[in-house]
Structure 1
Amino acid sequence: MNDIRRTILWVIFGFSMVLLWDKWQLHNGNKATFFPTTPAVTAPAANAPASGAAGAASVPSASSASVPAPAAVAAAGASAVPGQAAPAAKRERVEVKTDLYRLTFDTEGGSLVHAELLQHIDMTDKTRNFLLLDESAQRVYVAQTGLVGGTFPTHKTAMTVVPGPRELKDGEDSISIRFESPEQGGVKLAKTWTIKRGAYDIAVKHEVVNTGTAAVSPQLYLQLVRDGNKPPGESSFYSTFTGPAVYTDAKKYQKVEFKDIENGKVDIPKDSPNGYVAMVQHYFATAWLLADGVQRELFTRKVDTNLYSVGMLTPLGSIEPGATKAIDARLFAGPQVETMMEKLSPGLELVKDYGWLTILSKPLYWLLDQLHKILNNWGWAIVALVLLLKIAFYWLNAKAYASMAKMKAINPKIMEMRERLKDKPQQMQQEMMRIYREEKVNPMGGCFPIMIQIPVFIALYWVLLSSVEMRNAPWIGWIKDLSTPDPFFILPLLMTVSSLVQTALNPAPPDPLQAKMMWFMPLIFSVMFFFFPAGLVLYWLTNNILSIAQQWIINTRMGVPPQFNLPKFK
């Protein structure tokens, strides 16, 4: 009767885990794995014309602090009214190529609307380079700037591109492209984008010229606009964050879900003298950076259906007639290489999402990076890092395996007692506790040392999942990319075998049903590893092999010859 009850409970537990997995997948924006449902149809912003998708509606409002008093408006008089708008220039796309980028700028606002990373291959189509920014019928993800606080030039203003070189030549360190707006609201705006060789941060200089006869106080906005869709090629078996992020010294790093913007539930600092705004996805990010000490107002907003923005407003102060004021910003658009981002801006490396175990993940990544510098292969660096961790935790593991060896030594006595008292469960429990007490065995003694190590290995899991260095990084032979699943499933099969060997080496639980579950669980979890990146499977396989070797050695030293406890399915 007890066995039937336990079987029913295990079935309920397993089914609950399946339902929880599907709910977790849906919560993270993925399709349900086991019971997919037809999602509600949301009209993507990309179905609209690209020029309108991130159009006038995406111009942020000026903060109330920048609105001039009525007296100031009266003093300005008619001269403050913008003159006849200049004839609209023909809209065109301008391409700039460097060693790292192929960028496309739009003369409408001088915005960056296309960023192709030449050093990174697309995961879904290996014949193409990875596309980070894009404004097309399929997706919207652009970087825009402009002025608010009056009828000033915005990212919708037709600008003129200044003639100049469009490709970074050998021997040159940087290349610039300049856009100039017509007079609008008594103001002219010039944007100069400067791309440096070998750098993923692009300098953007804004020069504001007061061409009117009255002082003006515009605000500069810097924003990233993108649709709320997950990047193509995302796995259904693990979830990574996609969306806006904000960093300030006051509240540190904050991720913002698209649904929170939709529901008006975003809680970020309104004003700050430091920090950045970013759009984050797996392996890559974009971020607007201003110098520390420059006052800024942070914002997120819904621009259109399935279209969102995150940005900063910074006041330029009063600009007298005929005067020019310049402000420098930088746009980071590239891979989440932690060591590179640490040098660009405080806290920028946090866009590489390690979750709640960042405090453990950062030193593990540092150690992995140092090992890669020595071995020059990310696969072998993973193997070496797991080996070092096993050495560091040797004594904890030794205690765990010693406890397991003692359990294995008394297991025949336990099994005989269970068979003898199978109809007297209460007496069976008392007798079992007596045996444990006399033999000085703690049945939980093998669990605690292993549980202490679990956070470290979970942190290492996130390091390997989040590190862009794994993309297209080969290991040996058939493993050409550690960030994608093993094409021949050799590593997952080896990992499954190693998990079963580990199970066979452990003492069999006295309860027959538990013994069966001990064999089913490795098989169930191994299924997921067939779809995990090869780097993660390599890490787990290495850990299993080293654990088996350590357990074998410790059992032999304790006089408990290793033996395989094979399952008995009757």
Structure 2
Amino acid sequence: MDNRRLILLMIFSISLVMLWDAWQKYNQPKAPVQATAAQSGTATPQPTTSLQAAAPTAAPAAPAGAAAPAATTETITVKTDLFTADISTLGGDITRLELSRYTATEDKRRTFALFEPKHRYAAQSGLIGDGMPNHRTQFTAVKGPRELAKDGGKDDKLQVRLEATAANGVKVAKVYTFSRGSYAIDVATEVLNGGAQPLTAHAYYQFQRDDVAPEGESAMVSTFTGPAVFTGEEKYQKLAFDDIAKDKAKFAKSADNGWLAMVQHYFVAAWVPQGKDKREFYARKLEGGNGSPLLTAAGLILPLPQIAPGAAGQQSITLYAGPQEQATLKKLAEGLDLVVDYGWLTVIAAPIFWVLQAIHGLVGNWGWAIVLLTVGIKAIFYPLSAASYKSMAKMRTITPRLMQLKERFGDDRQRLNQEMMKLYQTEKINPLGGCLPILVQIPVFIALYWVLLGAVEMRDAPWALWITDLSSADPYYVLPVIMVVSMIIQTKLNPTPPDPIQAKVMMAMPFIFGVMFFWFPSGLVLYWVVNNILSIAQQWQITRMIEGGGKQAA
């Protein structure tokens, strides 16, 4: 195989690996029908026998108390420095959660909503047991402040309390505690046993969501959306919506540690239990399929300690709902930072992101941090790149002689290959010399690609002039056009393939890549533009020196 064909194969291979998700057929179901309530008729989850061991009786398949009429349902709006949250008294669930520091993906005039009725996305919780309040029970909101005091106020926390009474005299309160400057919400379940018998119950915490991708996702740049489970034994496990619907999702069902999350690009919601209580994880289809959006519930079940008659008990869990800030997630729970998924290149991508953060700390701009990081990586790989460009430059000098051989032996492929190998040996050229150094660099560049694609820090981050959001496409397509031009220049600097078909394909590659990059985040395109410009400068200098008969570049 000659050098040109190997380079062509390498280009297609890199494209396939780097844009793996881009070539997947992203399932785009029909838009979901707006539901009158996110808590559509769903039964509460049930613990398995192992978690029920201490329970005197098994919980029923559905809660005894039906939801109250819609007319009695109230929506409480809570405001903090980071959130605007809607809490429904039907179930006491968070049905909408806007992150005030982030704008919507497509309409930058709106605030980004993580939980929202559009996707029937809500954080739900309740108790399992005969007649116990759950996410279909009507709660009553206790009066109190609904807005966190402004900066400088005496209170850095805001509590919202909802109460319900079961038929057996058990009183339950659900208490949300919001803290200033934190995306972590403490969710406490307080139980007062007003009955005559000891009470043993289980609490469940779940996310409900359809399988429609968030806005801004496309077949070109698609990321994982769906539930994920982490335990110390099984580590990080992603659950595809389709696998859940077919009951084929494989994940840890029980453990004394771990958390459950609902993941999407840049953001995550996670139920994080504290301590070593035995817990069970579950994921199930609620409704939909066959062309309509799948509605899925995924959550975990925790046992409550037995509560004597007249006594009270409490259980707390952390609900994180916010951006995938790796440092914050790592502090909150083991493995939670893995929701920023770099795949099999995490071992390379994690240090790259650390360096990118360090550079940003110095320059204060993520765009310039990308530029400087690209320059640094290019400098580290300079010796390998130089070896590759030297080989290409030598190939360029013998291209006319290769064309002559093709004209003489074009009908005898075996003789042509023999003569080409003789020429390579005479000129001391390794046909693979232009490819092997590049292959060594591929994992690093792919890892950097995923870092720039997955880092929430790029979202709404400006660079300069018209680039006001590095996570969005260039609104005027200036960077993609520059990238196409730079790739054309690179193609011109490379030796012309002897095969006319190969030559045409090589000339078409910049335009093929250019079309794809028109919809890529501008931070990614910026990286490629800088990398291409540096490559052109290096390749031009080495080619000029070799073709001019000067000394080889260091």
TM over 0.5: yes
Tell me by how many angstroms 1:143 deviates.
0.4
* Mapped pair 1:407 → 2:405: no
Q: Is the Cα contact below 8 Å between 2:22 and 2:222 reproduced in 1?
A: no
Taking the TM superposition and a 5 Å limit, the aligned residue runs for 1:470-509 are 470-509=458-497
2:287 to 304, 307, 321: 304
Are the equivalent residues in 2 in contact too, given 1:223–1:309 (CA < 8 A)?
Answer: yes
Residue of structure 2 in register with 1:78 after alignment: none
Match of 1:375 in 2: 363
Equivalent runs, 1:80-479 vs 2, <5 Å = 90-135=72-117, 138-170=118-150, 171=153, 172-305=155-288, 306-479=294-467
1:496 is paired with a residue whose SS is helix
The worse-fitting range, judged by mean Cα deviation, of 89-98 and 525-534 is 89-98
Paired letter, 2:236: Y
- The amino acid of 1:59's aligned partner reads T
Give yes or no for contact 1:121–1:128 (8 Å, CA) kept in 2. yes
User: Which moved further from structure 2: 332-341 or 228-237?
Assistant: 228-237
CA pair 43-488 structure 1, distance change in 2 beyond 3 A: closer
Inter-partner Cα distance in structure 1 for 2:66 and 2:165: 8
CA distance in 1, matches of 2:360, 2:143: 44
Q: Counterpart of 1:180 in structure 2: which amino acid?
A: E
Which secondary structure state, in structure 1, belongs to the residue aligned with residue 121 of structure 2? strand
Q: 1:304 to 1:400 in 2, by over 3 A?
A: same
**Alpha carbons of structure 1 residues 510 and 114: separation in structure 2 relative to 1, 3 Å:** same
Give the superposition deviation at 1:554. Answer: 2.6
Once residues 21 and 83 of structure 2 are traced to their aligned partners in structure 1, the CA distance between those partners, rounded to angstroms, is 39
What amino acid maps onto 1:157 in structure 2? T
Q: How far apart are residue 484 of structure 1 and its match?
A: 1.3
> What residue identity is the alignment partner of 1:301?
R
Amino acid at match of 2:196: T
Residue matched to 1:568: none
- SS of equivalent to 1:167: coil
1:62 and 1:149 in contact (8 A); partners too: no
Q: Does the C-alpha gap of structure 1 residues 495 and 225 become closer, same or farther in structure 2, counting only changes over 3 Å?
A: same
Question: What is the CA-CA distance between 1:292 and the residue it aligns to?
Answer: 3.6
Q: Distance in 2 between matches of 1:154 and 1:455?
A: 49
Q: CA deviation at 1:22?
A: 12
1:557 positional shift: 4.2
| CA RMSD in angstroms, aligned pairs only | 2.7
Cα distance in 2 for partners of 1:206, 1:23 equals: 41
Distance change (3 Å), C-alpha of 1:43 and 1:149? farther
Q: Does 1:49 align with 2:36?
A: yes
Instruction: Indicate the structure whose relative CO is greater, using CA pairs within 8 Å and at least 6 residues apart.
Output: 2
Q: Report the CA distance shift for 1:432/1:326 in structure 2 as closer, same or farther (over 3 A).
A: same
CA deviations 1:301-357 (Å, max 9, x no partner) are 112222101100011132211121211101111111112211111111111122222
Distance 1:24 1:122, change over 3 A: closer
Given that residues 100 and 198 in structure 1 are in contact (C-alpha distance below 8 angstroms), is that contact kept between their aligned partners in structure 2?
yes
Amino acid at match of 2:91: G
AA of the residue aligned to 1:503: T
Deviations 1:411-461 (A, max 9, x none): 232222222333433322211111111222111111011011111111111
Please give the secondary structure, in 2, of the residue aligned with 1:340.
helix
Q: Find 1:511's aligned residue among 470, 476, 499.
A: 499
- In structure 2, distance between residues paired with 1:160 and 1:422: 86
Report the AA paired with residue 264 of structure 2: Q
Q: Which amino acid counterpart does residue 62 of structure 1 have in structure 2?
A: P
1:99–1:47 Cα change, 3 Å = closer
Per-residue CA distance 1:108-162 (angstroms, 9 max, x = gap): 2211111011000112222110011123xx3300001111032211111111111
Q: Displacement, 1:388? A: 0.7
SS at match of 1:181: strand
For 1:295 and 1:399, the matched residues in 2 are separated by: 57
- Any conservation in 2 of the 1:98–1:167 contact (CA below 8 Å)? yes
1:409–1:560: 8 Å Cα contact kept in structure 2? Answer: no
Superposed displacement of residue 83, structure 1: 11
Map Cα deviations across residues 12-32 of structure 1 (whole Å, 9 max, x no partner): xx9xx99xx9997663224xx
User: Do the aligned partners of residues 451 and 23 (structure 1) sit closer, same or farther apart at CA in structure 2, a change above 3 Å counting?
Assistant: closer
User: In 2, distance between residues paired with 1:352 and 1:419?
Assistant: 54
Q: Which SS does the other structure have where 2:236 is aligned?
A: strand
Alpha-carbon offset, residue 364 of structure 1 = 1.1
The amino acid of 1:97's aligned partner reads K
- The amino acid of 2:203's aligned partner reads L
CA 1:47/1:102 → structure 2, altered by over 3 Å: closer, same or farther?
closer
2:510 matched to which residue of 1?
Answer: 522
Q: Which residue of 2 aligns with 1:35?
A: none
Please name the residue that 1:533 is paired with. 521
Distance 2:451 2:357 in 1: 11
The separation in 1 between residues aligned to 2:450 and 2:156, in whole angstroms, is 36
Q: 1:437 to 1:417 in 2, by over 3 A?
A: same
CA distance in 2, matches of 1:145, 1:506: 62
Q: Is the 8 A contact 1:277 1:287 kept in 2?
A: yes
Paired residue secondary structure (1:193): strand
Matched residue type, 2:456: V
